[in-house]
Chains A and B, each alone.
Chain A
Amino acid sequence: MALLATHNLTAHYGDFQALFGVDIEINEAETIAIIGANGAGKTTLMRSISGVLRNGPEMVRLEVAEIGSAPADEIMAQGVSMVPEGRKLFPSLSVEENLLIGTYGRKIDGHWTLETIYDLFPILKERRNSPGTALSGGQQQMVAIGRALMSNPRVLLCDEISLGLAPVVIKDIYKSIPKIKAAGASLIVVEQDIGQAMAVADRVYCMMEGRITLSGRPDELSRDDIHNAYFGASH
């Protein structure tokens, strides 16, 4: 049984339908990448899984539990944590406080603690008392990833973690992915940077206009397959 799966997932913003029957699944200790152009529905998919957008309960399952209609705080408590697009650090909290907020109201056992987060991103320890938003974009992304990890999630959703960052910084951020995976989390990585996504993923889903247009292992997919799924066959 898949650890987390969506079944015929749909999502709407008012009258506008953004997702059309999306089916994806992720297994224990697996990393999957969701790729697609702007407006393909990747972030909407993440928002639907994380509880920001509420759906029918059966549309998202965490093992046997139907969580599609649960609010974000309950989904997080069940082990699905999110690194949101744009990082969304809390400006009135320091770096360390931003990290600690990931453990609010819970006693959490697991690999990820302040110390292991600081081992993963040593620069954060040096900047622990700085306001989170005073850091560079890359460092802010490290805080956002660390904050999500502090709850020791079973599934970590990473929404566009390379967005707006310099290539060298993106490389540093992506170096942490295998370590996070090794610590036991499954990852769903949403990316526009196809190269980065293919490098870390066990499987890839490509989205276009709210639908899954391609899926498979990175080594099974040709450039043409991806190009067609990304932009449509007519391009």
Chain B
Amino acid sequence: MIWIDTLVQGVLLGGLYALFAAGLSLVFGIMRLVNLAHGDLIVMGAYLILVLVTLLGLSPFVALLIAMPLMFALGWGLQKFLLNRTLGDDILPPLLVTFGLSIVLQNALLEGFSADSQRLPTDALTTASVSLGPVTVGVMPLLTFASAIVVIVGLNQLFYRTSLGRAFRATSDDAMTASLMGIKPSNIFATATGLALVIVAIAALYLGLRANFDPSVGPARLIYAFEAVIIGGLGSLWGTLIGGIFIGVAQTVGAAINPEWQILSGHLAFLAVLLVRPRGLFPRAHD
């Protein structure tokens, strides 16, 4: 029974990691850009929701609705005016710029909010639990997992059922030929990053409701996101969910054996997958 509970908790934790990773996967899938500031943007999103909750007295879920368009605008501007300038044949410039952005964000958050841990306010809903047969699970982990599913289904619908999705895929395949078809790649990339930061805002909500956060926790979130994306196969959204679940289950199983092994187990599982499937479980056919 304990093991069933452990597995269920691991799967639900995987939903959070999938949310961390979905934006990273989206950006990498479309423009092959590895955003090293992704974790710090999640933390920044959590602070943005915290500010909205504190200043306007809103529920964190309502604050998210305000944060999402703000994060979209931030992502759009960030890509259009900064990151697009770094794209090209050389992968080093975007890595260096996003690494620098990561440091800038951490220090700006430290300056603005201090190093004290913060947490989004919880209410009865966020602390409630429900019984699912033999196991009891928290409503918040269930909501997190459901949000991850909704995000990934939504992104898949966008990618495969809309003209914007076609433009995303065409630009990802060949930006120059896409521009010959009337698509402006710089705007497509900006829209993709804006969308990624909307997902970042959702991830930030659950990060802030689930645990304490401070300006220094971004890089660890980035690592989990990276591992989920790479396990799933670069650019595969469903693969990213599977990758998140894989890490979540590895962590909870490791913690059940010895609480000190929780984080280490996730990383070891990641390395094991890399050894067996270096391109991840669901690599894209065109890479």
Contacts and interface: CB of A to CB of B under 8 A. Distances in A.
Nearest 8 A/B pairs, CB to CB: A72-B179, A76-B182, A88-B177, A90-B173, A90-B170, A92-B169, A73-B184, A73-B179
Contacts of A104: 163, 166-167, 170, 181-183
A150 to B, nearest CB: 9
B182 A100 contact: no
B166 A97 contact: yes
A104 B181 CA distance: 8
A105 B286 contact: no
Nearest to A80: B180
Contacts, number: 73
Given A102-B181, A104-B170, 14 more contacts: A51-B179, A73-B184, A77-B182, A84-B177, A90-B169, A92-B170, A104-B167, A104-B181, A104-B182, A104-B183, A105-B163, A105-B182, A106-B182, A147-B181
Interface string A65-77: 0000001110011
22 contacts: A51-B179, A71-B184, A72-B180, A73-B179, A73-B184, A76-B180, A76-B181, A77-B182, A84-B177, A88-B177, A90-B170, A90-B173, A91-B173, A91-B285, A91-B286, A92-B173, A101-B166, A101-B170, A101-B181, A103-B163, A106-B182, A147-B181
Nearest to B188: A104
Contacts of A72: 176, 179-180
B5 to A, nearest CB: 41
What interface size band does chain A fall in? 20 to 34
Interface string B165-199: 01101101110111111111000000000000000
Interface string B255-283: 00000000000000000000000000000
Contacts of A93: 166, 169-170, 173
A120 interface: no
B180 A82 contact: yes
A88 B179 contact: no
What interface size band does chain B fall in? 10 to 19
Most buried by B among A91, A103, A104: A104
A151 interface: yes
Interface of A: 50-52, 71-73, 76-77, 81-82, 84, 88, 90-93, 97, 100-106, 147, 151
A182 to B, nearest CB: 24
A81 B179 CA distance: 11
Nearest to B169: A92
Nearest to A157: B180
Most buried by B among A73, A100, A103: A73
A51 B179 CA distance: 9
B180 A52 contact: yes
Contacts of B178: 90, 101
A72 B185 CA distance: 10
